[in-house]
Structure 1
Amino acid sequence: MYKNPETKELKKLIEMSYVLDGNYNTMNVHKLDKFYDDRGIVVRPDYRGYGIALEFFKARRLICKEHGVTMTGAWMTAHGTQKSAQRDGWETVVTVDRDEFAKQMGVTYEPYSPTSIKYMLARIQI
């Protein structure tokens, strides 16, 4: 999927995403032929609180609907995206303890980050 990441930080981020992805296989669990997945939603800190994440979720639903995809998912690692996803009707299917994951991966998180990382799914009405 990723070709020759140039920095050790990017290599670690990719490794972390593969480890998280091993926690849940949406295609198998829900017996799907197609599914849209990504690494979450990111909004610049100085633009947070304006509903931008909700707009991203709306756009994502429209793209899924246009392509006949009935479910989409992402790992949500920030308070704002977790709350916005909940407001948009996403459901949490996996919760990973932040501190345990950090220890496993040999990384640290900022103290203000959520205590859990959530894999969340949205069902799309076609």
Structure 2
Amino acid sequence: MTTPRWTRPDTVPFPSVWRRFEGKRALEDGKVPNFWVQDVTDDLAEDVVAHMTEFFLRDEPLTSNVKVRDDPVSLREIQSLWREMIKQRVALVALTNGDKGPVIAGCNVTGVVYKSDKGKDTQYEGGPMKAVIAALEYICDNVDVFQRYGVNEYMTALGLSVQPAYRGQGIGIELLRARFDLGRAVGLKLTVTVFTAIASQILAHRIGMEVLAEVSYKDYLQDGQVVFQNMKTPSMKMMAKRIENVDE
């Protein structure tokens, strides 16, 4: 008997606000901003994609190293992937009030991975995108998450990003914590992500995610060559936590 694919329950309002919090320092206007984390709605989807294109692709170790943003094919492919993930209605955005309405302070493009899709390969045409996906698949192949945790689906992510003007306000960790608020509400029991930068790895450790696999960048080779050169972060880490075990 085929297990039905997870979908967001109609009983969980969309959009929902999952967290509200005060920032940690004043901005140029002398005021400490307030933020809230909510679901990414259809009207925010393209703004989130634009944010990820401008900031995440520039700052994230893998995508910046192989210059995904500079390759038109790879850029279209990763933007398309983000849009598909947002359609699953579990992506998160941190907002604050600006002069002309809400402003995106950060986002976490989260989505759902299904056991029934295991083994299905998506083909990418852009060279940089191929390099990034190959690295993520390489580390993920170290652990059968579905078997280890006894789940048919889990929440994953392809990008945690904070707008530079709002860094240092605690937005990154609140976005990660919001995963668990959302997950508990919609019936997802596990979150698994490959964290590629030191900053996000530290945040994941702080909320109790365990390391399932770790791959050093200097030891990750393709055709005998180091793929990601001159990396500031030593390694990428595949990390996970059962959602119901989070103590807030």
Give the TM-score, by structure 2 length.
0.44
**Runs of 5+ unmatched residues, structure 1:** none
The alpha-carbon deviation at position 4 of structure 1 amounts to: 5.7
User: Any idea what the Cα deviations from partners look like across 1:26-48, whole Å, max 9, x if unmatched?
Assistant: 11111113311233534456654
Residues 1-126 of structure 1 aligned to structure 2 (within 5 Å): 5-39=124-158, 41-43=160-162, 47-101=166-220, 103-104=221-222, 106=225, 107-112=227-232, 114-125=233-244
Task: Give the residue type in structure 2 aligned to 1:79.
Answer: I
The alpha-carbon deviation at position 10 of structure 1 amounts to: 1.2
**Runs of 5+ unmatched residues, structure 2:** 1-119
User: Any idea what the Cα deviations from partners look like across 1:81-109, whole Å, max 9, x if unmatched?
Assistant: 010011112111212122111x2474124
RMSD, matched Cα = 2.5
- Structure 2 distance, partners of 1:90, 1:60, is 12
- Structure 2 distance, partners of 1:45, 1:10, is 24
Task: Give the residue type in structure 1 aligned to 2:169.
Answer: Y
- Structure 1 distance, partners of 2:238, 2:175, is 17
- Residue of structure 1 equivalent to 2:32: none
- Residue of structure 1 equivalent to 2:107: none
Whose strand fraction is larger, Structure 1's or Structure 2's? 2
1:5/1:99 CA distance change after superposition, 3 Å: same
Assess if the C-alpha contact under 8 Å between 2:139 and 2:214 holds in 1: no
Greater mean alpha carbon deviation, residues 2-11 or residues 74-83: 2-11
1:30/1:2 CA distance change after superposition, 3 Å: closer
Task: Give the residue type in structure 2 aligned to 1:12.
Answer: A
Higher relative contact order, structure no. (Cα contacts within 8 Å, ≥ 6 residues apart): 1
Task: Give the residue type in structure 1 aligned to 2:230.
Answer: E
1:109/1:77 CA distance change after superposition, 3 Å: farther
Q: Please state whether the residue corresponding to 2:241 is helix, strand or coil.
A: strand
- Structure 2 distance, partners of 1:109, 1:46, is 28
Give aligned-pair identity as a percent.
26
- Structure 2 distance, partners of 1:111, 1:3, is 27
Q: Which has the larger radius of gyration?
A: 2
1:100/1:51 CA distance change after superposition, 3 Å: same
How many residues align? The count is 124
